Amino acid sequence: MSFTRFYDPDATRHGLATWPWGHAPAHLATKKQLAARGLRPGGQEPAGQIRWRSRRAPPGARGVREALLYRIEDAVPKRVPTPAVLASLARAMRARRTCPTCRLTFVYCLPTSLGECAACAFDTEVDPNDVEAA
């Protein structure tokens, strides 16, 4: 039933060329599939969509999920981050690992639910293996 329900390559029922899960043409790909190839849509309009039944569909979607498809030949390479962007991301990640109370930097991101490291939140000793070496 799902195949005929979602099969609409002429876009007469769904307004956009539609295929069921696993039946899209080989020259079309989702954003995740493009990303796996090192590509991005690059501003092109969707060429179609795939639709499938799912229990994880958002409310109001009537149990149907969809993913947009883009032409692989019109996709462009992913942007390469500049050194400044990479440095900024490194600073942001370091801030997520630094406790605002004791100012120690840990090897993992601190839980946002506590707002500080577990040692400060529960008044316990810091495990030396969890602290980043200076």
Q: Are residues 52 and 102 in the same domain?
A: no
Q: Are residues 55 and 97 in the same domain?
A: no
Q: Does the predicted TM-score (pTM) go above 0.75?
A: no
Tokens 């839980």 belong to: 111
Q: Are residues 66 and 111 in the same domain?
A: no
Tokens of 109: 């991101």
Tokens of 11: 């876009």
Strands 64-71 and 76-77: unpaired
Asked, for residue 38, whether it belongs to a domain, the answer is yes
Phi (first) and psi of residue 98, to 5 degrees: -100, 130
Parent domain of 90:
83-122
Asked, for residue 110, whether it belongs to a domain, the answer is yes
**pLDDT 10s digits, 9-67:** 999 988 999 999 999 999 999 999 999 999 999 999 999 999 999 999 888 888 999 99
Q: Are residues 109 and 65 in the same domain?
A: no
Q: Are residues 40 and 95 in the same domain?
A: no
Please name which of 132, 134, 133, 103 lies closest in space to residue 117, comparing C-alpha atoms: 103
